[in-house]
Amino acid sequence: MILASSEEKARTAAVRIAALPQVPESKKIMGFMDNGESTDLLEQRFAELLQESPNPLGVSMALGPAKARRTAIYLGCSESCEIIIQVLLVCLGLLFFLSSPSPAADKIRIGLSSMSAMHGAVWVTQEKGIFKKYGIEPELIVIGAGAALGVSALIAGDVQFLAGAGDAIIKASLRGADVVIMASVQNKGAQRVVARPELTKPADLKGKRVGVTRFGSASHLVLQMMQRKWGIGPGELQVRQIGASPAMLASLDAGAIDAAVLTIPSVFVAEDRGYRVLADLADMDIYYLNTMFNSTRSYLRTHRDQATRVITAFVEGIAYYKKNKRESLEVLRKKLRADPAGERHLQRSYDLYASKFYEAAPYPSLQGVETLLEFLSSENPAAKDADPKSFIDNSILKELDTRGFIRALYDK
């Protein structure tokens, strides 16, 4: 049973209720559930009633005042239990839906910029049935090779949402692309520069070969940001396009590069092999939207309800991830195919993301957007005068926050 805030959710709730047998009129009760109440509590209580009560629940319908835009559902139950539900509707057409079949979950595609632990919350939201709970059937597609390809897939409509890092969304928006940042679960970068052990400080990288996944990728941008902090000019490093983290580790081992920009948990693997961490982006006072959740403005206009359910599920998935270490680690093991030797790395990855990086309320950092715009202004004059707020639509997130949904997830 769900507290619905849309026509589609109301249809699902109504069909479930209509399927229950009727009980005598004397057993019927009526009332309203506060709009801010947790749907989890409602679902839990409903499940308990089904197990406890020998008298099956019944249902009848009564329309509230049209001005109020609400429909009250009357539920019958045994004398030992009561349940009160309010379904908020976009329109008062619920009676029509009672005879309709239960709709299938909405199928969507979510692109992931890499096969990395930074996407743990998305995987957990899928694997633990949280997307399904909100009527979403996601296909998670690892696009890889940097965020730019993911943004291209988003613009082309090959995916409806994109989880990833980097400046690609900002660059595309500056070019006029219909893309927007909806959330950012991680506003500090997890990238680190690892190097051969004889390189002991950033200045030692001058003239050396440094690997990134691909030119224009998040790892490349992060390296450029670090260079600026270090006072190392663009031409003072030999930047090499290598590929994903496993390829960069192999290139380090083969001596093909002297250093690489890696993410968690590949950084831990490099440390085990004797490489030195020269710099950690999270400790450099550089705000960087590392794990954004993006879509297109046109999609948000035409599929507002669907987008709301996706973001709602994602926010709940973040809470589940942060609060359930054992279960979340099981998902990470499955997705990253960790062997016994990598177990310690997974543990460290989880601890960092759950405590240091993941935001409970994943608002995109305006400071993070400003950082990217300032950095991009040297190559794109439009970035200099751009309003950081124009790249963000966090209205769905604000709606959830305002009604106490996010707070309730952590009060349980």
pLDDT tens track for 368-393: 898 889 888 888 888 988 999 999 99
CATH 3.30.70.2740 fits 192-285, yes or no: no
Query: Residue 358 and residue 368: Cα distance in Å, rounded?
Result: 15
pLDDT tens, 163-177?
A: 986 688 899 999 999
Q: Angle between the 218-230 and 366-376 helix axes, to the nearest 10 degrees?
A: 80
The three-state secondary structure class of 240 is strand
First to last CA, the chain: 19
CA dihedral in degrees (311, 315, 317, 318; nearest 10)?
140
Quote the pLDDT of residue 157.
92
The count of C-alpha atoms lying within 13 angstroms of the C-alpha of 149, restricted to the half-sphere facing its C-beta, is 14
pLDDT tens, 7-61?
A: 444 444 444 444 444 433 333 232 323 333 344 444 454 445 445 444 333 333 3
Query: Residue 384 and residue 242: Cα distance in Å, rounded?
Result: 31
Lowest mean pLDDT among 16-30, 129-143, 398-412: 16-30
Q: Element (H or E) spanning 259, and its range?
A: strand 259-262
Query: How many CB atoms within 10 Å of residue 69?
Result: 12
Mean pLDDT of the residues in the chain: 77
Quote the pLDDT of residue 146.
60
Query: Residue 406 and residue 361: Cα distance in Å, rounded?
Result: 7
CA dihedral in degrees (245, 246, 252, 253; nearest 10)?
160
Q: What is the mean pLDDT of residues 323-331?
A: 94
Q: Which two tokens stand for residue 44?
A: 């839990």
Looking at domain 106-185+288-347+360-411, what is its CATH homologous superfamily? Answer: Periplasmic binding protein-like II (3.40.190.10)
Task: Give yes or no for a contact between 57 and 23, defined as CB atoms under 8 angstroms apart.
Answer: yes
Q: Which two tokens stand for residue 363?
A: 């608002």
Q: What is the mean pLDDT of residues 299-315?
A: 96
* 8 vs 364, more confident: 364
pLDDT tens, 254-264?
A: 999 999 999 88
Quote the pLDDT of residue 82.
32
CA separation, residue 143 to residues 99, 355, 387 (Å): 41, 27, 29
Q: Element (H or E) spanning 45, and its range?
A: helix 39-52
Q: Which residues contact 411 (CB under 8 A, 6 or more apart)?
A: none
Query: Residue 285 and residue 262: Cα distance in Å, rounded?
Result: 18
Q: Tell me the whole-structure pTM to 2 decimals.
A: 0.67
145 falls in which pLDDT band (50, 70, 90)? low
Q: Which two tokens stand for residue 66?
A: 């049209």
Phi, psi of 33 (to 5 degrees): -100, 135
Domain with CATH 3.40.190.10 in the chain: 106-185+288-347+360-411, 192-285
